[in-house]
Amino acid sequence: MTDPRFAKLSQLLVRYSTELKKGERVLLDMIDVPDEFTVQLIRAVRAVGAIAIVETRHTRISREMLRDTSSEHAELVRDLEMFRMKRVESYIAIRGSANANESSDVPGDRLALYNKTLRPVLNYRVNKTRWVVLRWPTPSMAQSANMSTEAFEDFYFDVCTMDYAKMAKAMTPLEDRMKAADSVHLKAPGTDLTFSIKGIGAKSCNGKLNVPDGEVFSCPVKKSANGVIQFNTPTLYSGTKFENVRLVLKEGKVVEATSSNSKRLNEILDTDAGARYIGEFALGFNPHIKNPMCDILFDEKIAGSLHFTPGQAYEIADNGNRSAVHWDMVLIQRPEWGGGEVWFDGELIRKDGLFLPKDLRGLNPSNLL
C-alpha cells in the first residue's frame, strides 16, 4: 500500500509550489527516489492536465560519470540538458542519496570543470522556469539528524507539508524591510561583519522554490562586506564535510578562509573569480527545523539562523556576481548556539534568534506553529 503522505506531498509540489496548469510541461528530476513516490508525482501532474517528462538518476552512477569527466563530455551533457530544459515550463527535483559523501573522492578539478560547464543550465532553470527542489528522506539523512529512520520520516513529511501559505503572509514585512535597508551588521561569537544591501532587493521563500522552506534572502553589494564571520554549523559541499568555517572579508572578497579542511575549502573558493565574493544573505525561520543535519535545504531554514553565501548571486536579488559556486553557509543565533544579533540601518531586527519589531514577530516559532 502506498504511503498516503506521498500523495499529500505530490499535491503540494504540483498545485502549490509550481502551480502546474493544463497543457504545461514539467521535468521531474528524480535522484535515488522510490518508484512509488515517482508514480504518485506523475499521477498528480496528470490530474491537472500537465505533461510529465521523467529523468531517474542514481548518485553512484553520477559519481562514476564525474570522476573522469572531460570538456567534451561536460559540453555534451550541457547541450542535451539545456535543450530539454528549454522545452518545459516547470522543474521538480527530488534528491535522495544513500550516502551523502558519495562524491567526496571526485577530483576537485573534474568537479570544477563540470560545474562551470553546466552552470548555464542551472541559470536557465532558476531564472526561466517555475521550479522546486527538495530532498528525499533516507537513513543517511536520519543519521545526520541524529534521529531514527522512522522519526526522521515523520519529521520530514511534517515540515515539507506545513502551512506555507500562512508563513508566506508573515514574511511580507521582512521582505519589505530588506528591500528598504542599506546597512546590515551581523554579530555573534567570532562574528562581526558589516555590508550593504541597498538597491539589491529581496525575495521571500515560502514553499515555491524549495521544500522545506522558510527564509527571506537578499545579497550584499558586491564589494561592501568587511569583517569576519564564524559559522557554527557543519556544511557539506560536493561530498566533502566542513566544520568551523571562518571567513575574513575585505571589500567584499574572502581574503582568508579556514575550516576543518582548509585546503579543500580554498580549492573550492578558487574555482573562479566570483567564488570569493558573496552571492546571497538570508534569514531563516522554519519553526520545525531546529538543528543542523548537514543538508543545506534544511539547514538554511533553521529557526533563528542566517546564511551567507560565497559565489553566484540570484538574478532576482543580484549584485552582479557570477560563479560556478553557490555555497550557503549557516550561522545559528539562538541562545543555545551562542546567540547573536542582526541589525538593519542601526535597528536591532533579531536578537538570539527572535525577531523584535512588532511587524516581524509573526515569524517567531510560537506564531508559525
Query: Is 1 a residue whose pLDDT tops 80?
Result: no
For the entire predicted model, the pTM comes to 0.83
Q: What CATH number should be reported for the domain whose range is 4-160?
A: 3.40.1830.10
Task: Give Cβ neighbours of residue 76 (< 8 Å, ≥ 6 apart).
Answer: none
Where are the domains positioned within the chain? 4-160, 164-368
Is 49 in contact with 75 (CB distance < 8 Å)? no
pLDDT for res 97: 86
Task: Give Cβ neighbours of residue 110 (< 8 Å, ≥ 6 apart).
Answer: 66, 67, 68, 69
Q: What angle do CA 290, 296, 301 make, to 5 degrees?
A: 40
pLDDT for res 101: 85
pLDDT for res 73: 98
Is 237 in contact with 327 (CB distance < 8 Å)? yes
Of the pLDDT bands very low, low, confident and very high (cuts 50, 70, 90), residue 14 is: very high
Q: What is the DSSP letter of 13?
A: I
What number is the average pLDDT over the span 347-352?
98
Fill in the amino acid letter for 272.
Answer: D
How would you label 259-295 residue by residue, b for 16+ Cβ within 10 Å and e otherwise? bebeebbbbbbebbebbbbbbbbbbbbbbbbebbbbb
pLDDT for res 78: 98
pLDDT for res 203: 96
Query: Is 98 a residue whose pLDDT tops 90?
Result: no
- For the stretch 241-263, pLDDT in tens is 999 999 999 999 999 999 999 99
Q: Which of 146, 157, 294 is nearest to 233 (CA)?
A: 294
Percent of the chain predicted with pLDDT > 70? 100
C-alpha cell at 155: 519529521
Which of helix, strand or coil describes residue 43? helix
- For the stretch 315-342, pLDDT in tens is 999 999 999 999 999 999 999 999 999 9
pLDDT for res 100: 82
Q: What is the mean pLDDT of the chain?
A: 95
- For the stretch 175-208, pLDDT in tens is 999 999 999 999 999 999 999 999 999 999 999 9
How many whole angstroms separate alpha carbon 90 and alpha carbon 107?
32
